[in-house]
Structure 1
Amino acid sequence: MIGKTVSHYKILEKIGEGGMGIVYKAQDTKLDRIVALKFLPQYLASDLSEKERFFHEAKTASALNHPNITTIHEIDEYEGQVYIVMEYVEGTTLKQIVEGEPISLKKVLDLAIQIGEGLLSAHEKQIVHRDIKSDNLKVTPKGQAKIMDFGLAKLKGATKLTKAGSTLGTAAYMSPEQASGEEVDQRSDIFSFGVVLYEMLTSKLPFGGEHHSAIIYSILNEEPQPLARFNNKVTPEIERIISKALAKDKEERYQHVDDLLADLRRERKGLEYAKSSILTQTYEPPKPKKKILKVLIPASVLVFFALLFFILNPFKVEFTKEQTAQASQNSLAVMYFENIPDPEDKDHTGEMLTNLLITSLSQAVGLEVISRERLYDIQKEIGQTEAKNITPSLASQIALRAGVKTMLLGTILQKEPNLAVTSRLIEVKSGKILNSQRITGFSAAQIFSLVDSLAVLVRNDLEVTPTVVTEAKSVAEVTTSSPEAYRSFLEGVELLDKFYYAEAQAALKRAIELDSNFAMAYFVLSLGNGVDAEARRKFLQKAWQLRNKVTEKERLQIQAAYVSWIENNPLKATEILQELLRKYPHEQRVYDNLARFYANLNQYEKALQTYLAGLKNDSLDKLLWNSLAYGYAGLNRRKEALDAVDKYLKLAPGEPNPYDSKGEIYFIFGEIDSALYWYQKAVSLRSDFISLEKLGYHAILSQDYSTAEKYFQQMGSTSDKIQKTQSEYAFSLIPAHRGQIKQALKQMLDNLSSHKIRKFQNFVLFDYYTLTLQGYEVENYSSMLEYAKKLSIESKKDPTDKIYARDILAWAYLKNGNPKMAYQILNELKRDIGEKLPAWQANYDYTVGLLAYEEGKYESALQQFKKTLEPLLPNHAPQFHYAVSLLKTGHITEAISELKRVTWWSPISLDRINLTLLPLSEYWPIASVKAHYWLGVAYEQQGEKDKAIKEYEKFLEIWKEADPELQQKEIKDAKERLAKLKIKA
C-alpha cells in the first residue's frame, strides 16, 4: 500500500496494526494535510448488515468535535475494503507511556481529566465507545490526550452485542456486562476508563489471566489488588474513585462521567492545595531513593504495649496541616544522617547513628528531643516520604512543623577504614548555623563511642548545663554494645509496627542472641504478639532485671508493665505512666498506653482526655487512630469509628492491618459483607495475615466448611508458629459447629498432645478449656470436671493468673451435683481478686450468674449478667446465657436482639470487646447454632410462626448430622415444635 493513492489520499507509511485493521499515515492531496487512514477488516464489506451498521455509527461519531477526541473526516471504500479517514495525531499511545517510567500522580490526574472530558462530550451525544483501553488513547508531545477509534462506537440503546461484536473490546478492559454479552451503555465506558486509571497508577491491569476465559472470570468474580500495594503515593480518595469506577454492579458505579470528572478535578485541586500549603522555602527535590525504613526509636517502643489491648474512650480531634507547634525553649530535632558512601543505607548505619544519637541526647533533662517517629510523620505529611536525603530546606519545613528551636543535620562521609561524620546545629527560625562538628577515627564497630562523643558536643553547643547531664550514661550502656544486635532490634521494632509478628519475633530474638543483656529487646519481645504468654512473662522479668541498662523513660515503661502484669497492680502502673508523661510529654506511645489502662479500669472519661492530648501532639499517629476507631466502635459510635479507621488507612495504605481493622469495625456493627470485603483486602496485601482466621470463622457460620478449611490451611502455611498452631485449633471448630462433638473432641485431644510436646502453654490451656466446654455440651459432666481441674492446675503455673480457671471449675462442680464445692471455690475467687481490676470482678459476677442459670434461677442470673455487662463497652460480644435468661424471664424483644447477634458473632482481635475474661467467651461455635433454636422459641412465644419455623429449620439443618447425644436435647424439641407449627400453618 505504501506509495499508492486511495481516492485523494497518498499512502506514506504504515503506522499501526491491530484487531480492527491497519492504519496508514497519508497525505490529503486536496487539503494538503496529513491524515490517518484505517482500513477495517474484510468482513465489513461482505456483511451488508454489519457494513450498514458501521457506516451509521461512524457517521454519528464524525459529528464529535472535541479537542480530546480524534476527529473523523471521511468514510469510504477502496477495492472492496472499508476505510475511515481520521485526524493524524503525533505522539505515543498511553500504553507505551505506562510501560515506560512511572507516571507522576499529577500527570495521571491531568491526563485522566482530559480523557474524561472527551468521554463526556461523546456520552452527551448518546455515543458509547465500548473499547476504551490504553492502546486507544494517545498523548501528544504537548501532553494533550486524544481518544481514538470512536468510529467503532455503538449507539446507546441499540441492540445487544452480537458474538462478533463482543470481540471489539480488549478482554482485560471489558466491563462485567460487556464480558457477559449484555447490553452496554455509558457506564461500560466508565468501567473501562477505571481500568485505564488503575493501569496508569500501577503499570498493571486490575484483572488478568493467562487466557481469555481466565481474564473474563477475573473481571466477573475477583477484586483488584489495592492500588497502594503498587504505588504508595495513591491517596485513599483516589483509591475510592477508582474502586467506584470499577464496581462490578453498574448500578453502584459512577452513573455519569461528569460525576467521575468532578471527583478527579477535586483530587487534582487537592494536590495544588497541598503544594501551596507547604512552607515557602524552596529546595531541590531529592532523587528517587529506596523507600525509607520507618524506624521507631527505642524510647518509643511502648507502642507494642498498646497492641495487647486497643481499648479507649472515643473523642473527636481535628487538626489542619497548617498548624505548626510553638518552639519549646530547648528543643531539638535530629534529622536523618545521610549516608554518602551507601546512599541506600543498606547496612542501616545512617538509621543506627540517628536513633542512637536521639537516645543519647534524650537523657538530658530539660532538653526535649523529638522522636524519629514524629519527624517521619511530618515528613510523610508534606509528601516527602521517600526522601532519605534530608536537604536543609526540607529539614527546616519538618523542624518548623515539629515546633523545635534547633535541628541537627548530619552526614556520614566515609565508613572505611573509619567512620567520618559531620554535623551542623542550626537555629530553625533564622536558619543560622550555630556550630558544626567533624568526627573521625572511630571504626564501624565503635559507632556507640562516636555517638557518645557527638552527643557531648551537641549538648555543649546547646548549652545544656553539666548538672542536668551528670546522670547521662554512654549510649552503649542504655542500648547494646553490639552494632549487629542494634540493627536486628530496629528491624524487629519496625516489623512489629506493621503487625508482622513472626518476622519481628525472629529479629528481636536475634538481637538478644547477639547481646544477652539487651534490655529493650527483651522488653519489646514481652509485648509483641506471636509469643507464648509464659515466654513473654520471662522476657519481661529479664527486662526488669536489666532495667538499669536503659534510659529513664524506658525504665519507667518497663516498670509500668512489670507492676501491672507481674505484680497485678494496675493502679500503681497507671501512676507510673502518669509520672512518665509529666517528665516526657511528647512520648506518644505513653498516651496510648495510659489511656488503655484507664479504659481497663472503666475510667472512660480519663481515657478520652489522655487520647485527646496524644492526638494534639501528633495528629498523624497511625496506631493511635487505630485504637481510637475501636474505642468509638466499642461505644457504638459508628461514624466516628469509621472516620478514625479511614485516617489510619490513609496513613498506612500499603500495610494490611488498617484494612483488617476496618473489617473488624464493620463486623462489630454487624455489617458482615463489608467486614469480609476489608478482610480480603488485608489478605491481598499479605497472604498469611490474621484476617484469614476471621474469614474462616465466617465461613463456618455460613456452613461453607470447605472454604473455612481452605482459609485455615492458608493460616497454617505461615512461618509464624503461633498462627500455625491457631489454625490447628480452628479446624476443630468445624465439627463442633456441626454438632459432631466426638470428632471435635478427638481433634482437640490430638492438638493437646502436640501442644504439650511443643510446650505451647497458652494452647494447652485453651485445649483443656475447649475440652471442658465439649464435655458440658454432651452432658458428660464427669469429663467436664476432669478437664476443668487440669485447666485450673495448668493455669496456676502462671503466678500472675489470679483466677486460674476457678470460674470454670466452680461451674463444673455444680454440673456434677456438688454446689457446696462450687460456691466454696467461688468465694475463694472473690477473696483473691479483691477490687484490683474491674475485668476480674466482671469474671466473678458473670460466674455467679452462670451458676444461677444452671440452677434454673433465671431472674437472679439475669440480674448478675446485667451487673457484669453494664459497666463494659456497649458494643461487646453477645452472651448466649444472658440472652436465654432474658427469654426465660419474659424479656422476649431484648432476647431476640441478643440471640441474633449470637448467630453471627465470632472472635475478633480485641480482648475487651471479646470479653475473653468471662468464662464462656469461646462458646461461640456451638452457641451460634443453639441461638437459632432459641430464636425459634422466642418467635413462637411472640406468635410469629413463620419466623419461628425458619429458625427451627435453620437449627436442624446445621445439626442434621449431629452426635446422637445432642439428638435428645434441643434437636428433639425443635423437631416436635416445628411439626406442630407446620400442622397449624
Structure 2
Amino acid sequence: MHSKDNLIRMLSANVEEQELSQIGPYHVIEKIGEGGMGTVYKCRDRHHRVVAVKTMSLVKDGKEQLKRFLREMQVISLLQHRNIVKIYDSGQDEEILYLAMEYIEGQTLDQYVQGNEVVLKNKLSLMIQVAKALFQVHRKQIIHRDIKPLNIMVEKNGRVVVLDFGIAKNCLANATATKGMIGTLRYMPPEYTMESNAVDEQHDIYSFGVTLYEVFAEKPFAKVEKLRFVCDDFMTKRRLRKIYRKCVAAKEKRYKKISNVIRDLQRTLEQHKQINHKKRNVYLVLLATLVFCVVFATYPHANDGKFYIKKGTKYQEGGQYNLALGQYMKAIEIDPHSSKALQARAFLYVQMHQYEKALRDYDAAIKFDSKTPSLYSKRGQVYLKMRKYNLAKRDFDYAVSLDPNDAESYNEIGTLFALKNKPYLAEKNYNHAIALDPNFTVVYTNRGILRYRQGKNRLAEKDLTQAIRLQPNFAQNYKNRGVLYRTQSRYDLAEKDFTRAIGIKKDDPYGYYNRGLVYNLQHKYELAIKDFTTAITLDKSFAKAYNDRGWTYAQQGEDHLAENDYTQAIRLNPNFAKAYNCRGLLYHSQKKYTLAENDFSKAIVHKPKYVNAYLNRGELYVKQRKFSQAEDDYTKSIKLNPKNDRAYNHRGTLYMMLKRNELAQKDFQKVLEIAPGNFRGYNNMGLICMRQQQYDLAKTYFRKVLTLEPKNYAAHSNLGLIHLRQKQYNLAEKNYNHAIKFHPNKAVLYMNRGVVYYNKKEYQSAERDFSKAILLDPNFFDAYNNRGIVYYWLGKTDLAERDSKRALELRPNYLEAHNNLATIYLHKKNYIAAEKHVMKVILSREQVPSVYLNKARLYFLHKNYVAAIKSYQTILQTSLEPAIIHCELGNIYYYTGKTSKALKHWKKAISFDLPKPLHTYAVRKIAQYDRRQ
C-alpha cells in the first residue's frame, strides 16, 4: 500500500543515539563494525547461535544508504553457496532495519595471506573459492561491483566467504543507471568511468584479477604490471601470470566468463600438485632404499611360533586381519598345542565377528591349559557377545572358582548383569573387581557407563576420569567421557575430549564422528561436515556418519546434499530406521508428502517401537487432513512411551482442532503431569479454557506460561484476547504491547490491538495498527475488513468501500465484509448493490448476527416496511449495534410518512456512538424536522 519513501516517513521519529542491547529477536554481544553501509553487531539468537546483525537506521541514514541496505537484503537472499555469506533473517525493530547473517570468525583475505605462511597451492585454493562464489553470483545475473580482499573473509579452516553486496547490481531488475562511480578505485576496470558506468561480468573479473595480483605478489596493486612472486615451479608461475594478464587485460581481450577463470586456475593447481608429487616420490625412493639396506642387514629370522605370534599381533593392530590370521596359523603349525597361539587366533576371530571359530580355538586352548582362569573368562566374553548368557555366566563363575581374586572375571560378570538390565548386581561386581585391582582401567570405564545410563552423571564422570588417569593414552576413554559431556550439553569439554581421542588415534572414524555431533549441536555446521566427511573417508561404510552429515546439510538448507547422504546411509544399511525418519522429515519440509509417508512407514517397519517416527507421520497426516490416521499414530507413540509429553501435546492439539475439547483437555493435563515445566501444555490448557469461556482459569494458565517463558508473545496475546472479550480494553492493550515487543513482525498482534483501539473509540490508533498488519501480511483479509469499518466510522466511505472489497477479493465468502458493504451501499443509496450483499449474507445460512439485520434490510429494500419494522424491533434488544438499528428504523418511518416516530429513532441513534456518516445524516434530519415543527 505504501511506497518505500512513504514507509520511511510513516515510521520515522527522533531517536537519541544509544547502545543497543536487543535487535529484534537477537541479543547484542558487541558492536564489531560501523561505516557508511550500516553498523554490524555480534549477536546471539534465541537458539544461542552466534550471528552477525547488520543494521540501518530509518531515521539517521540517508536514502542512498537505505537503498543499498535493501539491495543487499534482496541480493543475498537470492544466493546460496558455501563461499557466500549466509542470510538467516531480516526484519524491522522500531526505527531499525536489520539483516541477520552468518558470523564469520576469521581474517580478511589480505590479513590472512600476510599473517600466515600461505603456500602457493593454498593461495590457488583460496582464489578458486572466490571465483566459485562469483560464478554463483553471475549465475543469478548479479554483478558484485566491489570484489577486493577487504570484502573477502577466510576462516581458520581455509573456507573463503565473500561479503558486502551493498552495491551489487541485479542485471534483471529494471533499475535506472547509477549516478557516478561506485566501488573502490584501484579494483575498477579502466572502461568504468563517470560517463560510462555500465557493468557486466567482466567488471568483477577485472577486480578478481587485481585481487589475485595482491594475494600472490603480497603488495597493493598500483598499475597493470608483471606479476612477480617467489616460486620454484616455473610452469606454475608462467600459467598464473597468463591468467592474471587475461583478467586485467583490455575489455575485448579479457575473460568473458568467470567459469573460464575457474577452469584455468583448477588446471594450474592440479599440474602444480603433480609436479610436487613427482619431486616427493624421488626423495621417498632414495630414503626407502637407504632404510631397506639398514633393516635387511639387522632383520631377525624366525625359528619358532613366538615370532609369528608377534608378527601377527602387529598386523592385527594395523587392521590387516587376513595377514594376521596367516601368521597365527604358521605359529599353530609349528606348535599345535600352543595355548598362546590359539588364544591369539581366537581373539582375532572375535574382532572379525567369527564367534564360532573363536569358541573352537578357546575350547582347544582350555583343553591344553585347563587351569588358567583367563581362558574361561575370555570364552565367557564370546558367549556374552553371542547373547548366550547362561554359558557366559558358567565360564565366569568357573574362572572365579579357580582364582577368587580374578578381577577380570568379576568385571565380566558385572557386564553380564548390565546387559541383563540388573544394574544393582552389575555395580556390585564392578565394585568387587575394583577392590581386587584398584588400577583395573576397564572396570572404571564399565562402571562409569553403567552409572551414566542410570543418570548418575557425577559418579559416571568420576569413574571415566579415573580411567583416563590410569590409561591417559587410550583414545576410547576420552570418547566415553566426551559422550557424557555431550549429553550434559557441556560441549566445550566434549569437544576437548574427542579432539584428544583423535590426537591419540588419528585413523579412528568414531572420534571424528563424535566430535562432528558436538559441532552440530553447537551449530558449527562447517566443522561438523568436515568431521563427518573425515569419518566417511576413513570408513566408507559408516552409515551413521552419512546420516548425520545429511542432517547437518539439511540444517543449512542444502536439501539436495542432505537427500544424497540419507539415501547413501540407507544403501549401506537398508534397515537404518533413523535414516528413513530423517529423509522423511526432509521430504515433509519439501511438501513431498507421499515420499515422506513412505519413509516414516519404513522407519516404523524396521523399528516397530520408533516413537518419533509415529509422531512425525502423525504430523504429516494432520497436514494431509487424515485426522483418524494421525490420531492412531499419536496414540501408538503414547502406548510405546507413556511418559512422552510431546506425544500427548500433539494428540491434544489434534483434538482441539477437531473441537473434541474434553479429550484435548485430558491430554494437556497429562503433558503437565509428565513435564510440569512444559509451557506449551499450560498454553494449550489456556486455549481450551478460553473456548469454554472459563476466562479466569485461562488467565491462570497463560500467566504460568509467562512465569516459565517471560517473553512468550503468544501468552501475552491470549491474555489480551481474554481482556478484549471481557471489555477490559486497557489491560488488553497492555498485553498486546508486550506481545508486539517480543514479536514485532507478527501481523495478527497489530490486528488484535487495532480491535482494542476500535473498541476504545481511538480510531486513528486502530487505523494505524490495521495498516501495520496489512504491511506485514498483504493478504490479511481480516485486517482489510477491520480497517474498512474504521474508515466508515471516520466518514471515509470510499476508503471503507475499497478495503471491504479487498477483503472479499482475498476471501470471497467473507460474510462480515458483505455486511459492511451492505451498510456502506445503503448509506450511499445504491440499493441494487446493497441488496446484492444483503442476499449473500442471508443465503449463506450461517447463524451469524448480521443475518437477521440483513433480513430486515431486505424487507426495507423491497418496500415491505411493516415486515422491516417488525424485524428491526425483534433484533433491537440483542444487537451489538443498536445505534445503526435506530437510524435505519428512523429512515423506514420517514419513508412511510411517520415523521414523529422517525425523529424519535434518529434522536435515539445519536445518543449512542454512531459512524460519522450516519451521525451527520441523523443530526441533519433532526434539525430539518425540528425547525418545521
TM-score (norm 1): 0.36
**Structure with max Cα Rg:** 2
Structure with greater helix share of residues: 2
Q: Higher relative contact order at CA 8 Å, sep ≥6: structure 1 or structure 2?
A: 1
TM-score (norm 2): 0.38
